[in-house]
Amino acid sequence: MVQKKSQVSKTITVEQIGSPIRKPKIQRLALKGLGLNKMHHRRVLEDTLCVRGMIAKVRHLVCIVNEN
C-alpha cells in the first residue's frame, strides 16, 4: 500500500488592528470570514489563497503577526 506524504499546512496568525465602523460592507464581511470581530483579537488560519484574498481586502484593518 502506498502511503501519502503528510501534508503540513502552513498557517498565518492574523490580528485585527482597525475598527470596521464606517467601512464598506464587503470589508466587514471579510473580517467576519476571517473570524475577527473585536479589536486586538488573533486568529490562526490556514495559508490559502482564499484567506490571503480576504486579508488583502482588509489589509488596513489587520496585521499578520506570524507566518508558519
Q: Indicate the class that CATH gives domain 11-67.
A: alpha beta
Binning pLDDT at 50, 70 and 90, where does residue 68 land? confident
Alpha helices in 1-68 (DSSP H): 25-34, 49-57
Cell triple for residue 6?
A: 503528510
Cα separation, 34 vs 46, whole angstroms: 10
Do 34 and 63 touch, CB atoms closer than 8 A?
Answer: no
Name the residue ranges covered by the structural domains of the chain: 11-67
12-40 tens-digit pLDDT: 999 999 999 999 999 999 999 999 999 99
- The pLDDT score that the predictor gives to residue 5 is 58
